[in-house]
Amino acid sequence: MEETRSNKKTLFDILKVVISNLFKVLSGVLVGFLLPKIVGVEDYGYYKTFTLYTTYIGILHLGIVDGIYLKFGGKSYGELEEGKFRFYSRFLFYLHLIMAILISLIALLLLPNELKFIFICLAIYMVGNNMYSYYQMISQITSRFNEYSIRTIIQSVLTTIAIVVLALLYRFVGVTISYRVYTLISVAIVSLLFVWYLFTYRKITFGSSITFKQGKSDIVEFMKLGIPLTIANLCTTLILTLDRQFVNIIFDTKTYAVYAFAYNMLTLVTTAISAISVVLYPTMKRSDNDNKNIKLNFPKLRSIILTLVFGVLVIYFPLCLFIEAFLPNYIDSLVIFRVIFPGLAISSTVTIVIHNFYKILNKNFNFFIKSLIVLVVSIIANAIVYLIFQTTISISMASIFTMIFWYILVESYFIKNYHVPWIKNFIYMLMMMVVFYAITEINNYYISGTLYLTSFIIINYGFNFKIINQKIKRLINKRNTSKN
């Protein structure tokens, strides 16, 4: 009974986060397709440069937030000591404020015009976003998913209002929209959400706290505990963004804009499925994770994510039709999009399932070392293909092979130590990727989309026919029983 209640709560929590993420996806769709339309290709390239570097700012909390996340994951809000957490909150704020001032000064003194603006905005954004992320983490570890979901929805609504207003000004008033305007709006929105969180969590922010002398040992403990996870997360981010970083540095802004637009479409799908990851860690942390549970849950979760993502890939076909009709300046991005889209199944499995199991088992350093190896391989692979081919598509192809290597390497720990079954899922993953690439060779999106969806259904039935037949029989028996 207790397990059933726990499962229902987990599903309900996932549903709440999924709903909030759907709002995020909808706002992401508007921004993803309206912004490149109204700011132009070059300005869009500058904006995507800003967003590229925002993916790295999480490391600037120096492992403290991740340390808190790992130590207190699964605790209730009432179990958090207010005096200590007030000190943690203030320490993090002042730490980020000092870093923001340093980044701004470096930008003012050393960087050219556009990069100067981008990095000053990045410094301000870093304070608001990292503190906002810290409080979001408090919501996650204490399972206060209502707070998490509401703020995600509000952020999406504010973003939607902003981009719609800018689009209307562009379309009907003829106002020229610069990427700088939308960048400043993004900074303002995340700062507003941070201030809102300050009010929500005022009990662990304002009031008397322990002194620096009393709390410094905790900060050192969090850093020791969290830095392996922070660096592992950074390695994961770099693995997923390295090809974009190469293109951003080597090619011109317009080329990068087209390349980044392909990843922008990928991000929309990533956001939709990331809700599972938000709920998964605190839920798993509260449960027992012995050999038996890992052997049962690991392949099951991995299979669910792979099936879900390969099913979602069907969105590729209507997206291509939409880009050709609405954003013809970005048609070249479809070639890149076709190459990288199946990689979403690999990256989602690693980040949502495999990495969470490493966290639960406190094997963050192990994950970091393996991810570091993959990062080095990725740098070498990207450098080699660029030197040989000097094209963006060759770099995107190299990233897919790197992801497959990453998947194999990080999964090997569970195969070796927990003897989890792996061959079936690995064959399924490779087969679906080959099917996607083969079918998308067909230029007619209506035919290729229908073929892919049909192939997906047939292959999934072939791999899971026993489970599917059992469920069908249960449904038939249940219906017959209810009639009688």
3-state class (DSSP) for residue 184: helix
pLDDT exceeds cutoff 60 at 482: no
Contact 154, 193 (CB under 8 A): yes
> pLDDT digits over 200-255, tens only?
888 888 888 888 888 888 888 888 888 887 887 788 778 878 888 888 888 888 88
**Model pLDDT for residues 376-415, shown as the tens digit of each residue:** 998 899 889 989 988 888 888 998 999 899 999 999 988 8
Q: Please say whether the beta carbons of 33 and 326 come within 8 A.
A: yes
Taking phi over 0 as left and psi of -120 to 50 as alpha, with beta for the rest, 390 belongs to left
Are residues 385 and 398 in contact, defined by beta-carbon separation less than 8 angstroms? Answer: yes
Per-residue pLDDT for 455 more than 90? yes
Whether the pLDDT of residue 365 is over 90: the answer is no
- In this predicted structure, what is the pLDDT of residue 272? 61
CA nearest to 183, candidates 114, 240, 247, 246: 114
Question: How many angstroms separate the CA atoms of 370 and 382, rounded?
Answer: 18
Q: What is the pLDDT of residue 2?
A: 46
- Of 5-14, 144-153, 182-191, 417-426, the one with minimum mean pLDDT is 5-14
What is the reported pLDDT for 332? 84
| pLDDT, tens digit (0-9, with 9 covering 90-100), for 32-84 | 778 888 888 888 888 888 988 888 888 888 888 888 888 877 677 777 788 88
Residue 278 pLDDT exceeds 80? no
Using pLDDT thresholds of 50, 70 and 90, give the confidence band for residue 104. very high
Mean pLDDT, residues 93-113: 91
Percentage of residues in the chain having pLDDT higher than 90: 17
More confident residue, 141 or 268: 141
Instruction: Give the model's pLDDT for residue 103.
Output: 92
What is the pLDDT of the chain when averaged over all its residues?
82
The listed range with the strongest mean pLDDT (107-116, 251-260, 291-300, 362-371) is: 107-116
Q: Are 156 and 24 in contact (CB under 8 A)?
A: yes
Pick from 261, 236, 471, 255: nearest CA to 364 = 236
| For residue 5, pLDDT beyond 70 | no
Q: What is the DSSP letter of 111?
A: S
- In 169-284, at which residue ranges do the beta strands (DSSP E only) sit? none
pLDDT level of residue 450 (50, 70, 90 thresholds): very high
- pLDDT at position 226, please? 84
Q: List the domain boundaries for the chain.
A: 19-210, 214-467
Encoded tokens for 375: 């990062």
Give the angle 41-175-251 at the CA atoms, nearest 5°.
Answer: 15
- The residue written with tokens 């990727």 in the block is 433
Planar angle of CA 477, 479, 484, nearest 5 degrees:
95
Q: Are 430 and 424 in contact (CB under 8 A)?
A: no
Name which residue leads in pLDDT, 400 or 284.
400
Q: Which long-range contacts (CB under 8 A, 24 or more apart) does 276-279 make?
A: 276/14, 276/305, 276/352, 277/351, 277/352, 277/356, 278/17, 278/140, 278/145, 278/148, 279/10, 279/13, 279/14, 279/17, 279/145
- The stretch 140-147 carries a mean pLDDT of 74
